[in-house]
Amino acid sequence: MTAAAGQAAASDTPVSTARACTVNAPRFTGSPGTGSNDPAFWPARGTYATTTTRCKDINLKLDASREVRTCFKKGSGWDCNGWRGLAAGRWGLAATDVLDNTKFFVQFKGTTRATGLIDY
C-alpha cells in the first residue's frame, strides 16, 4: 500500500515544471524597418509568434526605451493596438490579457532594430 501511494504521488508531479513568466526569458533582436510605414518589428518579416500559457501578457524588457505596439491575427488580416512607451532596462507590457495561442507580432516605432528580452 505504501508503494501504491508513493506511485500515485509521483504521477501527480509533472516531469518538468515550466518556468515562470519572465524568469530566464529569451533575448530577441528585432528586424529594422524601412520607413515610416514600415517600422522595426519582431519576429522575422512574414512570421509571427504565438502566445503561451506561461504568461497572460506580452512582456518586453528593452535595451533602449522605445514605443511599441502589438498586432494580432484577426481573420485574414492583422489588428494592431495603440503605441505605448516602454522604458529601457525594466519589464513593460506590450499587450495585456492576451488569450493563449494568439498569433502576434510586435512593431517598434522608428526603423532601428530593437533588442532585449521577451516573454509571452
Query: Is 27-119 CATH 2.115.10?
Result: no
Mean pLDDT in each 10-residue stretch from start to end of the chain (120 residues)?
A: 39 53 95 93 96 95 98 96 97 96 98 97
Instruction: Give me the pLDDT at residue 27, please.
Output: 97
**Helix, strand, coil share of the chain (percent; to 5):** 10, 40, 50
Instruction: Give me the pLDDT at residue 36, please.
Output: 82
Q: In the structure grid, which three cell numbers stand for residue 37, read together? A: 510605414
Instruction: Give me the pLDDT at residue 18, please.
Output: 61
For the entire predicted model, the pTM comes to 0.82
Q: CA torsion 99→100→103→105, rounded to 10°?
A: 80
